[in-house]
Amino acid sequence: MTMSVQTETSAFEPSCPTSFNITTWAQRNCTAENVRRKFPITLWLPRYQCSWVQSDFIAGLTVALTVIPQGLAYAHLAELPLQYGLYSSFMGCLVYFFLGSSKDITLGPTAIMSLMVASYAEGDTTYAVALTLLCGCIQLGMGIFQLGFLVNFISFPVINGFTSAAAITIAFGQVKHVLGLQKIPRDFFPCVYYTFKNLGKTNLWDLLMGAVCFVLLLLLKWLKDVKWDSPDEIGYSPTRWQQAGRKIVWLIGTARNAVVVVSAALVVVALKSQDINVLTLTQQVQPGLPAFKPPAFTVHHGNSTETAGDILQGLGAGLAVVPLIGFLECIAIGKAFARQNNYRVDANQELLAIAAVVLLSLGVLTPSFHYIPQAALAAVIISAVLTMVDFRVLIKLWRLQKMDLLPLVCTFFGTFIGIEARPGMLVDNKDVLIFQPDRGLHYPGVDFIRTLLYDRALKEKPYRPVVLDCSHMASIDYTTIQGIKEVLEEFNRMRVPLSFAALKPHLQEVLTAADLPGFRCYATANEAANNIYEDGDPETNPYTPLLNAAQH
């Protein structure tokens, strides 16, 4: 006697080769189709349309005008020569063009990674290069062995807690440059103490420059987001000159970092022409491209020499933390754009792309960047990272699930909690798919559920309606609520019904308060299956014949 209920195996089982299956692994992965997937450009370039060139040119120009000043600022944040920020900026765009799986993002320096490099390399370029090389090798290995699923063990509160804390640390670390203070420690609490202690030594000219730049950045950001057309002006059509003016304003707002940095540099040039030296400037930028050569693994300090072993010991936990955080930043943004534009991002391919960028970055600009004031770069960094602090999440967590505030603060313990979070799953494989988790849903279990639902219900036509039987669920967390919201949005977009059944009263109350799109809950799974289309149009719903057949 056979049963329709099956036990689902893990969708995230890694395919790491061993001495017993190396041949099978090689035959499965070393195929022409797999090679094409490793170079996504071979898949999208033949379908590229000439009508997209203008939009892509504008996008490339605006990204360049944004990333150049940000690259300088983030190199300054990483306590490295400014040219390193420029090298990483253009190399990321170039390599990701060939290897990236997301059409909406590119790779380059970020505030969090710059802060981590400053923490582990401590301004030593040899340490920074060694960290880059080893992290690239680690990410390459993770991509080859398809370990992209590891990022799912980091929950939403953990990510939010980490990014918010990093943003506050970065922003306050730049206050010393806005105030023109010297010899302020990098570590957060000593930085706060000595910044306030030395307020009397503030350079008023640096403060004025930083404040003006910061206000201009906020103003230009606001201009970029202005909605010019009023909903009351029905039938109104702007003139060609008005359209051109609005595009210029949008372009200036988008490239606000470059506009502010260049304007500040012009002010410095004008002051220096009058022999006025009142602003603190950045260091000289070495012109030209670096020579491609193997990185050095020794550091000389007078009569002493640090060997490769000493460097590895000095980097310590950075070899585990930096590659994972770098991958997490990329995949989080890539998935956000993928959900918005209805495509999928390959986590393992993203690992390979990041590794290639990092490794090739080891392998043309002028000294005029020296005229950029440090206060202007500090304003760019502060305005960029402040958006990373999302206090609204605290309100949502307090309203929906107060207990999730704990992993938001204690991120270390949150990671270990996630290891046992993925539930077992029973699947009733009828016309209406019924999924039954064997316990509560917590991160990273929601990603497992999401992948399972997509593979079973939406992978190929005809799509299949789904009922999630929650009779064994006793708890749920905020990360899972966000994941359920994304799943519902995807099913609604595909016009495929997804219903919940047998929810505990307190869980139903939480999900109802979360205002999930198209959320429907029934007392039993059978009731959900029988009523799954009651809110739809039976004449246009492609699953009505299936429902009628099941009822008869």
> pLDDT digits over 184-194, tens only?
877 677 788 88
> pLDDT digits over 179-221, tens only?
988 878 776 777 888 889 899 999 999 999 989 989 998 898 8
Report whether pLDDT(57) > 50: yes
* Cis ω before 538 (30° cut-off from 0): no
pLDDT band at 414 (very low <50, low <70, confident <90, very high): very low
> pLDDT digits over 350-386, tens only?
778 877 777 776 653 344 456 667 777 777 777 776 7
Task: Report, as an integer, the average pLDDT of 530-548.
Answer: 52
Q: Which of 106-110, 229-233, 438-442, 478-482 has the lowest mean pLDDT?
A: 229-233
Report whether pLDDT(420) > 80: no
Please report the pLDDT score of residue 212 as a whole number. Answer: 92
Q: Which of 57-66, 72-81, 413-422 has the lowest mean pLDDT?
A: 413-422
> pLDDT digits over 487-511, tens only?
888 888 888 888 888 888 888 888 8
Q: Among positive and negative, which fits the CA dihedral 245, 247, 248, 250?
A: positive
What is the separation of C-alpha 311 from the centre of its chain, rounded to a whole number of angstroms?
29
Model confidence pTM above 0.75: no
Domain ranges of the chain: 51-230+238-387, 418-551
In angstroms, the CA 306 to CA 312 distance is: 10
Q: Which amino acid is at 339?
A: R
> Which two structure tokens, joined as six digits, stand for 429?
């494989």
Task: Report, as an integer, the average pLDDT of 514-538.
Answer: 76
CATH class (in words) of the domain with range 418-551:
alpha beta
